């Protein structure tokens, strides 16, 4: 019987993007490919683009992460971007927030299988973590529109810290709509970065919100 095709691309660019996280991200991608659909984490149509569109894509926020400290990834789901960032940055303490028990079980299991000592999984909604955690940075991918996301996540980020929201085409529009909320939180700067990791026209927008 032929071997199933490997979802991982071993090209130089993927290695450059993921850095020291490459091998772990490759293992993570294979786990997701093997079990993700069955466990309701990814749709079958996502499998062919699992590597670039989801796993490596998570690294788009990496350049904006703090030099040290802690990160809270809100709505981690299958572990995107939180688990990939934890693999790339073992020096950061990474908190994964996810309310769905089935996904929490997955995140816990995968963190153990990948021997990630810098990850803590919390089975909570972001709103219920206010006052419990104060991180240097927060990340979120495909969780909520920026206005709602800011209200959920900025209370979890210390003054001087950063929220990195991974967005699609509507990023700038979302920034405009979130204006009042961002001002209320004393946000000092908002920048939208267009990231085309493989230079193939597949652009991810990272909204960098500093408070």
The three-state secondary structure class of 54 is helix
List all residues 6 or more positions away from 23 whose beta carbon is below 8 Å from its beta carbon.
Answer: none
Using CB under 6 A, which of the segments 31-39, 107-115, 122-130, 170-178 binds ligand SAM?
122-130
Report 132-191 residues binding ligand SAM (CB under 6 A): 141-143, 152
Q: Site size for ligand SAM, by CB under 6 A?
A: 18
Nearer to ligand SAM among residue 97 and residue 171 (C-beta) = 97
75 touches ligand SAM by CB under 6 A: yes
Cα–Cα–Cα angle for 181, 174, 163, nearest 5°?
65
Q: Cβ of residue 3: shortest distance to ligand SAM, in angstroms? A: 27
Q: Can you give the C-alpha Rg of the chain in angstroms?
A: 16
Pick from 7, 8, 32, 97 the residue near ligand SAM by CB under 6 A: 97
For residues 15-32, one letter each, b for 16 or more C-beta atoms within 10 angstroms of the residue's C-beta and e for the rest, the string is eebbeebbebbbebbbbb
- CA dist 104 and 124 (Å) reads 9
Q: Cβ of residue 118: shortest distance to ligand SAM, in angstroms? A: 18
Which residues contact ligand SAM (rule: CB under 6 A)? 74-78, 80, 97-100, 103, 125-127, 141-143, 152
């Amino acid at each position: 019987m032929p071997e199933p095709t490997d979802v991982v691309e071993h090209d130089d660019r993927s290695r450059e993007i993921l850095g020291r996280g490459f091998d772990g991200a490759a293992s993570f991608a294979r786990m997701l490919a093997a079990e993700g659909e069955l466990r309701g984490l990814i749709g079958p149509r996502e499998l062919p683009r699992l590597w670039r569109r989801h796993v490596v894509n998570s690294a788009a926020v990496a350049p904006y992460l703090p030099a040290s400290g802690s990160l809270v990834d809100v709505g981690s789901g299958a572990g995107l971007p939180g688990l990939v960032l934890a693999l790339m940055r073992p020096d950061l303490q990474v908190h994964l927030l996810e309310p769905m028990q089935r996904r929490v079980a997955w995140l816990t299991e995968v963190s153990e299988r990948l021997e990630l000592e810098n990850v803590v999984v919390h089975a909570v909604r972001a709103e219920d973590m206010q006052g419990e955690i104060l991180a240097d940075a927060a990340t979120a991918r495909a969780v909520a529109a920026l206005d709602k996301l800011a209200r959920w996540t900025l209370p979890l980020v210390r003054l001087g810290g950063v929220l990195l929201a991974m967005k699609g085409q509507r990023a700038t529009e979302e920034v405009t709509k979130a204006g009042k909320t961002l001002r209320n939180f004393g946000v000092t700067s908002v920048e939208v970065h267009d990231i085309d990791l493989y230079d193939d026209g597949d652009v991810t927008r990272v909204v960098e919100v500093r408070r």
